[in-house]
Structure formats: C-alpha cells, structure tokens
Structure 1
C-alpha cells in the first residue's frame, strides 16, 4: 500500500510539473501585417501558420492589419513567425515580404500601389 501511495504521488508530481512547463512556454504576440487586404489574405496566412511548428493559433484581422499569434517558445520564436509570414508574401513588422511569393499573390492581395487591394463598391 505504501508503494502504491508513493507511486501515485510521483505520477501527480510529474504531471503537475509537465503542465506547468507547457503553460509557461506559450506566448502570444501581435504582429503588424500592413499588406493584408482581404479575407483571402487572412486565409492564406492562417493556413500557412497552422502548419508551422510551434504555432498554437493564428488570427489575422485584415481590417486592423494585425496578426495575433500564440506559439510555444521552446519550439519557435517571434522572428521565425515573422519570416514565415514574409514567405507567404506579406510584410510582418520589420520583415519585408518575399518578393517572388508576393508577385504570385492574386491581384486583390497585392498592395494598392501595385494595383491590388479591395475594390471600392
């Protein structure tokens, strides 16, 4: 009985320590994404970030031109996430969009000065 009690205490201690570490490693950041134009941009970035290792969630607000990302700090960092957004073809804070990928974006997803953007109704 004493061994069972010790085993139970050890399992609970390990489980509690594991949960505390995983909660501690989750961080949320808001990244300025000034070149997002529409719902299609939102879907592209969110889908790409869903596949990134360490990203727990990503929500793009194209009206406010921001991307809110929750990520595990032990698996990625904010610079990797900004680079990932740039690789999709969008500017992310101080990281400029990958030019080749940007050129392949649909017209509505491009900057207004490049002939893109939302159409005014």
Structure 2
C-alpha cells in the first residue's frame, strides 16, 4: 500500500512539473498603427517584424491602420512588438515612433502634417 501511495505521489509530482514546463503558445495581438499611410509602410513594418525574435507572421492593414501580429509568447510579447514598430518609425498604440527612424522614412510614409501622405 505504501508503494502504491508513493507511486501516486511521484506521478502527481511529475505531472505538475511537466505542466509547468508547457510553453505559453502562440498568441495574436492587434495593434493600432495610425501613422501607416501606404503599401510602402506595410512592407517596411512587415519586413521589420520578420527580424523580431518570436514573430511568426504579421499583417499590416494600412487602410484600417491596424497591424495584426502572431507570435510565440515564450519568445516575445506585445510590448516588444510595439517597440519594434516604433523603431521602424511608426506609432504603435501608445508607443510613439522613434524620431530618428521617423525622419528616415520616405515622404509618402510621413504624417500629413509633416508634408507626407499620398
């Protein structure tokens, strides 16, 4: 009887340990990107996000000003993705674009108030 009890406790311990080791999995986040203007912006952000560790895929809808990103949660998070978009020169939710990156954008990709847009 003691052996059976010890075996049950060991199995429960291994099961608990194994379940704590389960990866967080794949998540999808939708980020507001209000400064995205055109197809060039779309390509630039998607190319930039391909280099971000953990990003599986991204889709920028420049007409709706949203970016949908699917990523591995154990390798990155939404805040890192927003920072990557900001580093590319675009606003991402509450994260403002990096000024140096924004200045390097082509004229068509800049905000209308800065003389950009189509």
* TM over 0.5, shorter chain: yes
**What are the ranges of 5 or more consecutive residues in structure 2 without an aligned counterpart?**
1-17
**What are the ranges of 5 or more consecutive residues in structure 1 without an aligned counterpart?**
1-16
* Greater C-alpha Rg: 2
Residue 51 of structure 1 deviates from its aligned partner by 1.1
Alignment partner, residue 97 of structure 1: 97
Q: How does 1:1-121 map to 2 (within 5 A)?
A: 21=22, 25-118=25-118
Please report the TM-score for the alignment, with normalisation by the length of structure 1: 0.78
Q: How many residues align?
A: 98
Alignment partner, residue 7 of structure 1: none
RMSD: 1.2
Please report the TM-score for the alignment, with normalisation by the length of structure 2: 0.80
List structure 1 runs of 4+ shifted beyond 4 angstroms: none
Partners in 1 of 2:114 and 2:51 — Cα distance? 29
Superimposed CA distance per residue, residues 54-80 of structure 1 (whole angstroms, 9 cap, x where no aligned partner): 000000000000000000100000000
